[in-house]
Structure 1
């Protein structure tokens, strides 16, 4: 049987997340040469190249690399989970979590169900709010972990869970209004997506007006689907009744999701929840590619 070393798989995932051997080595507390040797031996074991290199830099995984990375994330999550169950049997208590509201509309529900079944002695307390408010609560010690939206974070940073395009969306049956000011639908003031979109419109001298302000994705989606306005949203929130605006509006930055822990030692339960969420996001992307 061919067995994969979890330390080597962890190195491969770190390189995929950071697109850098040196940053992956720093994340894992190893030397760059040690990480390079691990990947070389892994490629020899698999018999295929796993990473695409351009002028000595990692430009991304190969097709075989993407497949192995997706499985590696699941293997590592299960490895870490059983290790914590065996060596930290007291995993329990209250876990205070902050999440943006739109995550509750999509991926987070499945993660919560899985986490609750895996760790029934952990009592979850959720707070849905703007990322800027969640960051303040985290700093004040009122949250143990927060998932925060961002558009300017370093994609190679260790706390980056996910990244995807931020795009303009409109109702399928409704073209983008040509008259100005442009009607837009956004989340409440302070939302990082709102700030980024308004900055891009101002940079391109496009007059705008806020036609809808909402606190939930459901309300915003209905406003856009009805033709009331266009909206800047992460690509993963594209749903029935909406389509991407292909041209005519300024390009938006990448949407990123960050995991931040309270100062001091990270709670084991918080680490497990974040790991589950990361694996859920990447596994979802793999399922979409195979569909």
Structure 2
């Protein structure tokens, strides 16, 4: 089992170019599938459709969400396709496997004024404790405050994913055209424009903030932690949650800013396919979710404001 899992992991990582999150999730799913088969005396080469269905039924019985079951179906399909190709299985038992229809949940979005307030909140006072737990820097404004504002500006202005943000290098910033070169899922590259507020935040970070934090470990990373290494995703999420938490409700994370950016673009009249390109969605159906968000918000305003609603 260990050899098969290792080979499958390499396939996901190097051939399919899946993200580390996807690699961990799919590998964990397949490990569970193989263990389920082994407990019933079924070797990997003899896994069939009935066993796959029994495995999924067991996950449902244990209370797995529909989204989790859908991912496990995808994991099983990917694994079986690879296993047939590499001679681990003689035939693919997953071709007739069906995933449950996912429940589409409308994402939480900020109002434009809430997004602006969150970005302003990221620029904490110079004597505030840094968001990533280091010692307060001297001088005004603090390098970490400048960096935190860039994090909020780029996530909201560009609608990029937090992993894409943390993976940015200095060479990915085209300051003349105000465009970022972003490497998204599947190592697909796209160009994303950013606005003038983000341009000013980047200028201050690159000229004032980053030089104070940079070390030999910084290499070409655009955004840095307090020790000079590349900013990691957990810290970026912490920055966003701190900035969007107003004490009146739950804060949102980086993906909430991405949802907000997409919604505000559509509400401002942007074409759906343009938003699809900006977000890096492979399917237009994924982007269409944001049209439902806009309709729901329109209905909510109508119900509240119209005398005959």
TM range (shorter): under 0.3
Q: Which has the higher helix share?
A: 2
Q: Which has the higher strand share?
A: 1
Normalization by structure 1: what TM-score?
0.22
Q: Give 1 or 2 for the bigger CA radius of gyration.
A: 2
